[in-house]
Amino acid sequence: MGTKTVDETGVKTDEHKTDEAADAAEATEAPESIDVTKAAEAPEAAGTDTPEDADASMDEDTDEGPDGTGTEGTGAAPTGVGQGAGAVVSAGLGIVSLTGSWVGTVASARESLMGQLQTSSSSDVGTLIEKGYGNAWQATAMWGGIFALVALIVGVVVLARPAFGAPGRPQAPWIKSVAWAGVALGVIGLLLAVLKYTDVLLGLPATG
């Protein structure tokens, strides 16, 4: 039925040629399928990281600081600059309360001038001393006490600030030291101002 047989000279029939062509096609396609399968399984077998795994590992590394703790949100953490400035201001005001300020000097000169205007040559010595010197000294003491009180308040606020700030964040030792110095100077200046204003310390000389 249309099938050719091998003749005596050894010529192959059409049926044999078709079988040989099919075998050759299978032989050429098999290595490609094997190579594709091996290529797909190669990354998993080798244990290499994919790009997503590499990005995740980089994110984990950047989330840790030098000491191994997380650094997430550290940019919003308080730096203590305001507390340090407040401590320095407190100490400075405490020193001003003891040494005097230009405000106290101007107030003292003003009171002395007003005393001279309110008195005359016929006034007694007690009145001249009180108007010319007593009021001026009291003005100086009053302004010294004001500076001392402000220094005391600022120092106390700086020392109490950590209790209302970020929990677990200690205050720098130098800030505490300067703030305590401001508080101490404020207390001393306020005490001296009160004693001078009430004439307990360095009062007016007696005229009797």
- How far from 146 is each of 134, 140, 185, 194, CA to CA, in Å? 18, 10, 13, 10
Cβ contacts of 137 within 8 Å, gap of 6 or more? 108, 196, 202, 204
Is the four-CA dihedral 24, 29, 32, 33 of positive or negative sign? negative
Give CA–CA dist 132/205, Å, rounded. 13
Task: Record the pTM.
Answer: 0.60
List pLDDT tens digits, range 148-198.
Answer: 999 999 999 999 888 776 666 788 889 999 999 999 999 999 999 999 999
| DSSP H or E segment with residue 156 | helix 135-160
Mean of pLDDT values over 74-97: 82
Per-residue pLDDT at 20? 61
Per-residue pLDDT at 31? 47
Q: Is pLDDT at 19 greater than 80 in this prediction? A: no
Per-residue pLDDT at 193? 94
Lowest mean pLDDT among 11-15, 20-24, 122-126: 11-15
Per-residue pLDDT at 32? 47
- Lookup: tokens for 90: 């407190």
> pLDDT-based confidence at 72, cuts 50/70/90?
very low
Average pLDDT, the chain: 73
Report, in this order, helix, strand and coil percent for the chain, each rounded to 5: 70, 0, 25
